[in-house]
């Protein structure tokens, strides 16, 4: 039995999250995501997930956190800023998404989540829960929206008012009752810059994406030997991921340099010339991208991407 009040526990959660390094923390009641159910069903039915077959698994668990953590009462959503003013030094070099400039965030954020959970157990008491960073059937954007960390924009990213969208999202699902935060309003207004700028027309409608057309999907998630020829001349030199719909978003003019040295940009990668990219050997790949998210494509996948954009 917890001796602290719900309000006091909520304060502790947010205080410790900030101390450990998370930029924003919001809380939702752990409940069935009723509004998301028809959206997810429509997304899957229309094959907008492409060949990401895992998206069709655990449908119920994606919508109900109590199936992931029995007895769950709260979902703690956390944002971790990854925006950087650093840029690739060669303007004609194949482009890499900003989130992959530094060390792969998964383990770094997971360690911080475990630290947060340990701190809560020490300060509050016996808490059962799990941590999540892109590794389980959790609708992280829906929970971030529900907890008031931002709204889901027309480019389908979570946008935080006055801070932008260059954030990693993570969750703690715990059996501790906390005071929930409410959602905020949508501030996209009549703007359609993200939709207008998408070169592959992946943003088929405001707030709706066909991931199978997204450059990030094509260069990372798609494991086929070849990228479909329908995307020739549409990749805009992206070799891993894509930031177009975020770069054009007016809210991202408020993005600020992150204060997380553990994910500082890999200068060696940023300084690669166009020639060095295309002459990349597997040994050099393993050296430069040893701790990078880029290694997700494996050497073969990155070479596939490079060959495709070079022939466009």
The b/e string for 33-45 (b: 16+ C-beta within 10 A; e otherwise) is beebeeebeebee
Give 103's DSSP letter.
B
Cα 184 to Cα 252: distance, rounded to the nearest angstrom: 18
CA-to-CA dists, residue 312 to 73, 150, 220, 230, angstroms: 51, 37, 18, 11
Cα 50 to Cα 44: distance, rounded to the nearest angstrom: 9
**101-104: long-range contacts (C-beta < 8 A, 24 or more apart)?**
101/263, 101/265, 101/266, 101/269, 101/270, 102/262, 102/263, 102/264, 102/265, 102/266, 102/292, 103/262, 103/263, 103/266, 103/291, 103/292, 104/291, 104/292, 104/293, 104/295
Give 253's DSSP letter.
G
**Active-site annotation holds for 64:** no
Find out whether 234 and 199 touch, Cβ atoms under 8 Å: yes
3-state secondary structure of 305: helix
Cα 55 to Cα 137: distance, rounded to the nearest angstrom: 8
Out of 35, 92, 134, 224, the active site residue is 134
- Residues serving a catalytic function are 134
């Amino acid at each position: 039995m917890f001796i602290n009040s719900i309000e006091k526990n909520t304060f502790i959660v947010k205080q410790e999250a900030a101390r450990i390094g998370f930029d924003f923390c919001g809380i939702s009641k752990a409940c069935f995501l009723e509004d998301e159910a028809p959206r997810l069903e429509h997304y899957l039915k229309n094959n907008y997930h492409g060949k990401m077959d895992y998206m069709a698994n655990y449908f119920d668990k994606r919508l109900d956190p109590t199936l992931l953590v029995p007895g769950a009462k709260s979902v703690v959503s956390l944002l971790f800023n990854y925006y950087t003013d650093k840029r690739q030094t060669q303007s004609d070099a194949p482009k890499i998404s900003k989130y992959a400039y530094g060390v792969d965030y998964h383990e770094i954020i997971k360690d911080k989540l475990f630290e947060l959970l340990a701190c809560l157990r020490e300060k509050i008491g016996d808490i059962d829960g799990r941590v999540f960073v892109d590794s389980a059937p959790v609708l992280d954007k829906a929970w971030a929206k529900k907890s008031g960390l931002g709204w889901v924009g027309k480019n389908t990213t979570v946008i935080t008012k006055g801070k932008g969208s260059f954030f990693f999202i993570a969750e703690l699902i715990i059996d501790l009752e906390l005071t929930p935060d409410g959602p905020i309003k949508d501030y996209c207004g009549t703007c359609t810059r993200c939709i207008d700028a998408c070169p592959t027309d992946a943003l088929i409608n405001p707030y709706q994406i066909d991931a199978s057309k997204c450059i990030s999907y094509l260069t990372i998630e798609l494991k086929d030997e070849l990228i479909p020829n329908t995307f020739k001349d549409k990749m805009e030199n992206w070799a891993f991921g894509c930031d177009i719909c975020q770069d054009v978003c007016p809210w991202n003019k408020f993005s600020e340099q992150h204060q997380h040295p553990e994910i500082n940009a890999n200068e060696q990668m940023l300084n690669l010339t166009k020639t060095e990219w295309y002459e990349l050997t597997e040994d050099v790949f393993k050296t430069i991208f040893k701790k990078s998210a880029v290694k997700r494509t494996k050497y073969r996948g990155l070479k596939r991407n490079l060959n495709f954009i070079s022939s466009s």
